[in-house]
Chains A and B, each alone.
Chain A
Amino acid sequence: MTPGQSEAEFTVLYRSHYAAVRSYASVCVPHSEVDDIVSDTFLVAWRRFADMPDDWARGWLIGVARNVVRSRNRKLRRATNFVEQLINLRPDGVTKLQGEDLSVEDIDAFKRAFGKLKPNDQEMLLLAGPYGLPTDEIALAFGVKPNAVGVRLHRARTRLREAYAAQMSDGGEAA
C-alpha cells in the first residue's frame, strides 16, 4: 500500500467514525478538551492503522480514545463522571424521564448510585446502554473477549441496582 492509498483509506474511516469518537470524548472530558482527545485518538489510530481490525473499527477507535482519556485523567488526577456529563450534554433526556413520571429524587438517587460504581463499570454501562454498542465493539474498546463483556455487564448492572437501592433506602443521606 502506498502512503497515498493509506491516507485515502484512513480518510474514509475518519469520516465514518469521527462523530462517534467526538461524542464519546465529549462524555469523558470537559468541552475545551474534546478536540485534543479526538485529535490524539486519530493520531494513534493513524500510526497503528495497520493493526486496526477490519470489522468493528468504531469499537477499536473508542478503545484508543479510552486510553487517551485515561492517560490524560491520570495526569490531571481526576475521574470522569460519565452520567453527569451525559446529562449535561443531553438535558432533554432527563426532561423526558421526568415526563415519564420519574421524580427528581429518583433521578438524583440514580446519579449518586452511578457515581459509586467503578469507572470501568460506569463506562461499560454507558457504551452498552445509551450508546447501544454491540458486544463485539465493547469487547474491542475494553480489550477483552466478547463473552467477558456479558459477564461484566451483568455484574455492573447488579452493582448499579444495589447502589441505587442503597441510595433510595438512605433517602440520599449516603451521598
Chain B
Amino acid sequence: MNVDPIEMFDRLEPPEGWSEPTDIDNDPVAAQILERVFAEGGNVISLDAARRRRRAIGGAVVVAALVTGGAVAAIWNRRPDTSNVVSCYSDAALEPAVAVQIGWDGETDPAELCAPEWSTGALGVLSPADELRVCVTGDGVAAVIPGGDELCDELGLTEYAPPSPRDLAQAVTDADRELREIFLPSNRCVPPSEAEPETKRVLDKFGLSGWTITIAGTFSADEPCASVALDIETTTAFVRPVRRG
C-alpha cells in the first residue's frame, strides 16, 4: 500500500489531556512539584539580585583566546578528536571575544565543565534565551558555546556526540588488547615501576583518561612481573603481580 509517512505520523496522538488545565488541588503529584519549585527556586526577586551580584564578582583566569572553527561537516554529530581539553566560548562566533580552555577527561559533559565560567562571570552573562551547546570544531575540539538550538549548524560546526556505552566498551576492549600485548609475561616482564605509567599511557590513548590505576597485591621475587586487568564497572585498571612467563 502506498502510504505517506507524514500523514501516518500526524494521525498519531499525544497522551490524553495534554492540553487541558490541571486541577492541582486534586492532583497530589502536581501539587508536590509546585511546592518543590517554590521551595527550591526561592524568591524570584531575590534570585535576580543574587544573579546580578554573581555577574559583578568575576571569575576564572582566561587562558587563551585563540580558537578556530572549521568547515561544514557531512555528519551531524561526532566525537572530538582531542579529548584532553574543552573550549568555553564567550559568544556564538567561530572566533569568540574570549575562550577559556579547561582540562577534560573526555567523558564529563563539556557543558557542565564550562558552566561555572558563566556563573562566575568570567565569560560574561548568559542570556536567558541561550543554552550551552556543545559543538566540535574543525580542529576536533569540543567547544561549549552559548546559543540557540541550531547553533552548531549555524556556525558550520558539528554537534558534539557524547561517548556512547558502545564507544566506551570498544575503547576498553582496544585498551585491554594493547595492555595484554605489553604485559604478557611471555613477551616481557614489566616491573611495577613501569606498570603504572605504561598503563596510563594506554588508557589515555583510548580516551580512558578518567580511570583509576590501582596496584593490587605485593610484588615479590616469585611474582616480579606486572599484569593489568580493566574493570569497566569501577573504571579501574588493576595492576597485579604475576610470575615470569
Complex contacts, A67 vs chain B, CB 8 Å: 131
Q: How far is the CA of A2 from the CA of B30 in the complex (A)?
A: 24
Indicate if the CB atoms of A39 and B13 lie closer than 8 Å.
Answer: no
For A11, the chain B residues whose CB sits under 8 A away are 24, 34
Contact B41–A103 (Cβ < 8 Å): no
CA distance A83 to B14 in the complex (A): 10
Shortest C-beta distance, A114 to chain B (Å), equals 7
**Interface of A toward B, CB cutoff 8 Å:** 1-3, 6-7, 11, 14-16, 18-20, 22-24, 26-27, 35, 38-39, 42-43, 46-51, 66-67, 71, 74-75, 77, 83, 86-87, 89-90, 92-94, 96-97, 100-103, 106-107, 110, 113-114, 118, 120, 125, 129-131, 142-144, 148, 157, 160-161, 164
B128 and A51 contact, CB distance less than 8 A: yes
Having A11-B24, A19-B18, A143-B129, one finds 10 other A-B pairs with CB under 8 Å, namely A6-B43, A15-B24, A20-B19, A39-B36, A43-B37, A51-B129, A102-B3, A125-B6, A157-B6, A161-B5
When each residue 1-28 of chain B gets 1 if its CB lies under 8 Å from chain A and 0 otherwise, what string results? 1011110111111111111111110000
In the complex, the answer to whether A130 meets B76 with C-beta atoms within 8 Å is: no
A35-B29 CB under 8 A given contacts A23-B18, A67-B131, A131-B14: yes
Q: List residues of chain A with CB within 8 A of the CB of B203.
A: none
Report the bound CA distance from A87 to B44 in whole Å. Answer: 39
B218 at the interface (CB under 8 A from A): no
B44 touches A16 (CB 8 A): no
Q: List 7 A-B contacts (CB under 8 A).
A: A19-B21, A67-B131, A110-B3, A113-B5, A120-B150, A142-B150, A164-B5
Interface residues in B150-191 (C-beta closer than 8 Å to A): 150, 162-165
Secondary structure of the A side of the interface?
A: helix
**Shortest Cβ distance from residue A140 to the other chain B in the assembled complex, whole angstroms:** 9
Is B33 a contact of A42 with CB atoms below 8 Å?
Answer: yes
| A46-B38, A51-B128 known; A39 vs B6 contact (CB < 8 Å) | no
Which residues of the other chain, B, contact A157 by a CB distance below 8 angstroms? Answer: 6
Report yes or no: B15 in contact with A160, Cβ–Cβ below 8 A.
no
CB atoms of A20 and B29 under 8 A apart: no
Specify which chain A residues have a CB less than 8 angstroms from the CB of B6 in the assembled complex: 125, 129, 157, 160-161
User: Once the chains are docked, how many angstroms separate the CA of A48 from the CA of B159?
Assistant: 27
For residue A80, give the distance in angstroms from its CB to the closest CB of chain B.
14
Chain B minimum-CB-distance residue to A46: B41
As a 0/1 sequence over residues 116 to 129 of chain B, the CB contacts with chain A under 8 angstroms (1 = contact) are 00000000000011
Please name the residue on chain B nearest to A153 by beta carbon.
B6
The residue in chain A whose Cβ has the minimal distance to the Cβ of B107 is A77
Q: Does B217 contact A (CB under 8 A)?
A: no
A96 to B9, CA, bound (A): 12
Structural contact, B37 and A46, CB atoms closer than 8 A: yes
In the complex where A38-B33, A144-B150 touch, is A93 in contact with B45 (Cβ < 8 A)?
Answer: no
Binary contact readout B135-152 vs A (1 if CB under 8 angstroms, 0 otherwise): 000000000000111100
The answer to whether B18 touches A83, judged by C-beta atoms less than 8 angstroms apart, is: no
Report yes or no: B37 in contact with A50, Cβ–Cβ below 8 A: no
